């Protein structure tokens, strides 16, 4: 159901939702903080906000009394956290991981007036570069493997060899 189509809450439901909010909001926020990446407070607040919106819509289904409603709210928060990280549309899923650094050859040494950080990834192969970029975005090795069509072991090897190459490049100056 879309939020626009939702019916307004009755006075009794609004009072109950307010009581539940006062009882469990800080506890839900603490729980949501454990479910988000990098302890992102803003993402945890978004998840809790979505939890309260979903709870308001399905409040008539709650059969437990207010003192025992946390389990129900927590289940809603778990689903909201999962949905928070799920891409909204197929267009949000990355399709092409190649970019200018991978698809064109770069000169062996950058010009003196060019920032050298752009050329660091030139040390890596195309597969290693793609794996490093996906890992830098916070994806797990399993997700990177699915994105690249490789095994998890191949991704781990690519990341390890990339780290060795980048470390050697940094030490070489």
Tens of pLDDT, residues 101-125: 444 454 555 555 555 555 567 778 8
pLDDT at 127 over 50: yes
Contact 88, 121 (CB under 8 A): no
pLDDT band at 98 (very low <50, low <70, confident <90, very high): low
pLDDT tens digits along 21-48: 999 999 999 999 988 877 788 899 999 9
Instruction: Please report the DSSP string for 25-90 in residue order.
Output: HHHHHHHHHHHSGGG-HHHHHHHHHHHHHHHHHTGGG--S-GGG-HHHHHHHHHHHHHHHHS-SSG
* Model pLDDT, residue 101: 45
CB 168 within 8 A of CB 120: no
pTM for this predicted structure: 0.49
Say if residue 13's pLDDT is above 90.
no
Between helix 41-57 and helix 11-35 the angle, nearest 10°, is 150
């Amino acid at each position: 159901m879309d939020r626009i189509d939702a019916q307004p809450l009755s006075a009794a439901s609004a009072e109950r939702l307010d009581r539940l909010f006062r009882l469990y909001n800080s506890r839900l926020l603490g729980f949501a903080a454990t479910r988000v990446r990098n302890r992102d407070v803003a993402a945890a607040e978004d998840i809790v906000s979505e939890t309260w919106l979903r709870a308001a819509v399905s409040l008539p289904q709650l059969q437990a009394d207010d003192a025992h409603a946390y389990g129900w709210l927590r289940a809603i928060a778990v689903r909201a956290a999962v949905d928070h990280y799920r891409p909204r549309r197929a267009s949000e899923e990355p399709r092409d991981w190649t970019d200018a650094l991978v698809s064109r050859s770069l000169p062996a040494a950058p010009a003196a007036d060019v920032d050298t950080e752009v050329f660091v990834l030139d040390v890596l192969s195309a597969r290693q570069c793609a794996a490093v970029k996906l890992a830098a975005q916070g994806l797990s090795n399993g997700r990177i493997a699915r994105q690249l069509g490789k095994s998890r072991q191949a991704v781990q090897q690519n990341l390890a060899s990339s780290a060795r190459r980048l470390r050697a490049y940094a030490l070489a100056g």
